[in-house]
Amino acid sequence: MASATNESGPTNADTVGLDVVHAEATARLQEAGQRYTSGRRRLVEVLAAAARPVRLPDIEALAPDLARSSAYRNLEALERCGVVERLNAGGDHAYFELAESLIGHHHHLICEDCSEIADIELDSALEHRLAGTLAAIADVAGYVPSHHSVDLYGRCSRCVAAG
């Protein structure tokens, strides 16, 4: 299943403290011969504080001093090191959030109107069964599975109210 490399990993977004995230980021970057600079640290802090996937404009709003190109480059570096994950929810912008190995396996609830994304969790029995079924499907198809996503689309209460 998805957590095979994450046996002792967290199970929800609040399980791991920011200090642990910083430590992990430092270690994983160093392993790749890269530095955990203030810009990258800032990026991680923004993602941790948001507690939900954010787009580049959101990041710029929260940290106006970060140059756009550096933000993209650093997000990519953090992604390669397994600290950040990129989501494609289907708007103009990509979404970024801390990797599941840091904040735990989860899925997403997406508003089709305003594009806001919230993290959700399936009960572990269902998640387990889903993982098993998907593993079997991958096997039959000759795939080496890496991970899965479940996205729930709808309209949030605010957008419903707005008509």
Partner DNA sequence: CTCAGTGCAAAGGATTTGCATGCCG
Partner DNA sequence: CGGCATGCAAATCCTTTGCACTGAG
Query: Rounded CA gap, 40 and 98, in Å?
Result: 12
**145 lies in the site for its own copies, by CB under 8 A:** yes
Residue 60's alpha-carbon distances to 29, 36, 106, 116, in angstroms, are: 23, 19, 25, 16
Residue 86 near residue 75, CB atoms below 8 Å: yes
Are 95 and 117 a contacting pair, CB within 8 Å? Answer: yes
Looking at beta carbons only, is 45 or 119 nearer to its own copies?
A: 119
Interaction of residue 62 with its own copies, rule CB under 8 A = no
Is-contact 48 18, C-beta < 8 A? yes
Q: Which two tokens stand for residue 70?
A: 């550096």
Toward DNA, which CB reaches closer, 69 or 157?
Answer: 69
Q: Does the footprint of DNA cover residue 34 (CB under 7 A)?
A: yes
Instruction: State which of residues 13, 16, 40, 53 lies at the interface with DNA (CB under 7 A).
Output: 40
Q: How far apart are the first and last CA of the chain?
A: 41
Among 17, 18, 73, 149, binds DNA (CB under 7 A): 73
Q: How far is the CB of 54 from its own copies (least distance, A)?
A: 17
Sketch the per residue contact string, 103 through 122, with its own copies: x for CB under 8 A, - otherwise. ------x-xx-----x-x-x
Q: Which of residues 14-33 bind DNA (CB under 7 A)?
A: 29, 33
Least distance in angstroms from the C-beta of 86 to its own copies: 7
Contact between 51 and its own copies by CB under 8 A: the answer reads no
Q: Whose Cβ is closer to its own copies: residue 42's or residue 148's?
A: 148
Residue 31 CB partners (closer than 8 Å, separation 6+):
81
**Token pair 């970060």: residue:** 66
Rule CB under 8 A: is residue 17 a binding residue for its own copies? no
What's the closest the beta carbon of residue 58 comes to DNA, in angstroms? Answer: 10
